[in-house]
Structure 1
Amino acid sequence: MHILFVADPLESFKIYKDTTFSMMREAQRRGHRISACEPKDIMWQRGGVVTAYVRDITLTGAPDVWFTSAQSKPDERPQALKDFDCVVMRKDPPFDSEFFYATHLLEQAEREGAKVFNKPRALRDHPEKLAILEFPQFIGPTLVTRDADDVRRFHAEHRDIILKPLDGMGGMGIFRVKEDGLNLGGIIETLNKDGAQTLMVQKFLPAISEGDKRVLVIGGKPVPFCLARIPQGGEVRGNLAAGGKGVAQPITDSDRAIAEALGPVLAARGLLLVGLDIIGDSLTEINVTSPTCFQEITDQTGFDVPAMFLDALEAAQAAA
């Protein structure tokens, strides 16, 4: 296959942990051709098809200069997206207006015959924090609102809460307010911009001390190991970007039940790869834009997550 990865700039990759890099490495190992571009390299002109200016790359196996390219910026090669065997959308969050527009361009490319994973419409239809509310049987007490009074009522009921923006990533903008309500008003004002912006409020889950687990679901099936991201140094956030420690471990029976319930539903909607965030027995997020942790799980357990992903990608491409 000839695979196009739509991703962040290749030069920004930290290859010792980057999931997209691990996908590329496994694809090359299997003999697939690899090209890459950024969302800004995709264009659609009147009377034409959706086209990307791409670099055809080869992985070197070296840790410093990790790839070579047949093209250099700004002389990338134009190619219609429909002419690739598959397109893998791996742009990191935030899901901002530019990401939104990119999904529309990718959806047009689908209409022209491109095979895109995860499906652009599914990316738009599953905002990563809001998506959990479709599955209330698996989540803790949760509120989504702009209204400060709603938040105060929620705090009065649950006493110990987490507040976070809907468009955050890597633990950004997450606050805990305990029973004393210290600084609740200021935090609400910061997050809801005086009622102009929606936020999420959840009951604090003490099981966060054991880790915020990333459970990967590939082709509707759970990876048998997860990465528990354990808060460090008095932090309430387990995110690796916020200093959490990543510890791979077998998924629990509860993790598996959640993954097996959601996996087929999400896969049928075009989500080939999903990252479920689970604290204790409660689902807290459904990550669909650019789920990570492939290398950490593989390195610590020996289970080859990139190989499972490429198996699923090859099967999905053949079936599409």
Structure 2
Amino acid sequence: MDILFVADPLESFKTYKDTTFAMMREAQARGHRIHACEPVDVLWSQGALVKARVRSITLTLTGQDDAWFTVSATDVRSLSSFDAVLMRKDPPFDSEFFYATHLLEQAEREGAKVFNKPAALRNHPEKLAILEFAEHIAPTLVTRSAQAIRDFHAEHHDIILKPLDGMGGMGIFRMKEDGLNLGAIIETLNQDGAQTVMVQRYLPAIAYGDKRVLLIDGEPVPFCLARIPQGGEVRGNLAAGGKGVAQELSEADWRIARALAPTLAARGLLLVGLDIIGDKLTEINVTSPTCFQEITQQTDCNVAQLFIDALERHCL
């Protein structure tokens, strides 16, 4: 197959942990041809197909960050000329990401097979997507009202506040019962009512990890990565210094994963990352779910292999 990865700049990859790199490595090992571009390279012109300036690449044997690929060709190709197009641009889900999904959806109309499906990417903002599955989440508030946040804190005493467009633990605050600096935190996140904020009851089970549970083609991967906060942090995100520990799914993990997987897969989400703390769902990640390498390195489960198996089922 010819596989196009729409991703961040290749030069920015940290290959020792990057999930897109793991996908590329597994695909190349099977003889598939690898191509890459950035969203900025995708364009449409009246009377023509959606195209992109792409680089055809070969992964090197070293896999080191400074020399992990070579470019064999650069060309302008229609997205429909590829067997699969993988949208792997990292968050934030901003206006440019939104526009990119529309271009990719046009490419679908022209015959391209895009994963995850562009319309599904738009319809599942990673923090708000949990609202559909409220029976699996902790007490949660989504609001622009500073007073509503104060009322929620008065009811639950220990809360987490976070912006809707953050990633990697960015902009997350914990407010304990004393409420010290709650006003300042609200001002920072809420910006006088201009920005919507998500507020959730604090879950003490975070001490045992913020678990990333992966769904591939509607099937849960049997191992998750528990991202455990370190050094007094409340955030388990690896980007915030959390320690990643692979472990088998708990009964609660299986229950949540099996409840959501069929619905999400039916909407064209080939790969999903559920975030679960204890027995509560906290986020549904669809843009560029990660943790393939950490799980594979610590278990006998080759996650990239499972993913490329699924991609082949859809495209061959």
Same fold (TM over 0.5): yes
Cα distance in 2 for residues equivalent to 1:128 and 1:305: 21
- 1:32 corresponds in structure 2 to 32
1:256 aligned residue (254, 279, 292): 254
**Which runs of no fewer than 5 residues in structure 1 stay unpaired?**
none
Cα distance in 2 for residues equivalent to 1:317 and 1:120: 17
Displacement of 1:129 after TM fit?
0.3
Displacement of 1:66 after TM fit?
1.1
- 1:130 corresponds in structure 2 to 128
Cα distance in 2 for residues equivalent to 1:202 and 1:244: 20
Whichever residue aligns with residue 68 of structure 2, its letter is W
Cα distance in 2 for residues equivalent to 1:127 and 1:91: 14
1:193 aligned residue (191, 194, 213): 191
- 1:221 corresponds in structure 2 to 219
SS of 1:226's equivalent in the other structure is: strand
CA displacement 1:41-74 (0-9 Å, x = unmatched): 0010111110010000111121331111113xxx
- 1:152 corresponds in structure 2 to 150
2:77 aligned residue (61, 76, 79): 79
Cα distance in 2 for residues equivalent to 1:40 and 1:273: 23
Displacement of 1:227 after TM fit?
0.3
8 Å contact kept, 2:218–2:270: yes
- 2:16 corresponds in structure 1 to 16
SS of 1:213's equivalent in the other structure is: strand
Cα distance in 1 for residues equivalent to 2:133 and 2:100: 28
Q: Output aligned runs, 1:246-285, within 5 Å.
A: 246-285=244-283
Q: Output aligned runs, 1:1-320, within 5 Å.
A: 1-64=1-64, 65-71=67-73, 76-318=74-316
Cα distance in 2 for residues equivalent to 1:54 and 1:288: 23
Whichever residue aligns with residue 122 of structure 1, its letter is A
Displacement of 1:185 after TM fit?
0.8
RMSD of aligned C-alpha atoms?
0.7
Displacement of 1:147 after TM fit?
0.3
CA displacement 1:70-119 (0-9 Å, x = unmatched): 13xxxx31000001001000000011111111000000000000000000
Cα distance in 1 for residues equivalent to 2:269 and 2:191: 32
Cα distance in 2 for residues equivalent to 1:146 and 1:289: 25
Cα distance in 1 for residues equivalent to 2:111 and 2:208: 45
Displacement of 1:316 after TM fit?
1.9
Whichever residue aligns with residue 66 of structure 1, its letter is W
SS of 2:130's equivalent in the other structure is: helix
Cα distance in 2 for residues equivalent to 1:257 and 1:52: 41
Displacement of 1:317 after TM fit?
2.1
SS of 2:195's equivalent in the other structure is: coil
**Aligned-residue identity in percent:** 75
Cα distance in 2 for residues equivalent to 1:158 and 1:60: 53
TM superposition outliers: structure 1 runs of 4+ over 3 Å = none
Cα distance in 2 for residues equivalent to 1:63 and 1:116: 27
**Which runs of no fewer than 5 residues in structure 2 stay unpaired?**
none
8 Å contact kept, 2:5–2:85: yes
Cα distance in 1 for residues equivalent to 2:165 and 2:53: 28
Cα distance in 2 for residues equivalent to 1:43 and 1:194: 37
Whichever residue aligns with residue 26 of structure 1, its letter is E
Displacement of 1:302 after TM fit?
1.9
Displacement of 1:5 after TM fit?
0.4
Cα distance in 2 for residues equivalent to 1:294 and 1:186: 37
SS of 2:206's equivalent in the other structure is: helix
Cα distance in 1 for residues equivalent to 2:313 and 2:259: 21
Q: How many residues align?
A: 314
Cα distance in 2 for residues equivalent to 1:145 and 1:94: 20
Whichever residue aligns with residue 52 of structure 1, its letter is A
Cα distance in 2 for residues equivalent to 1:142 and 1:185: 19
8 Å contact kept, 2:63–2:69: no
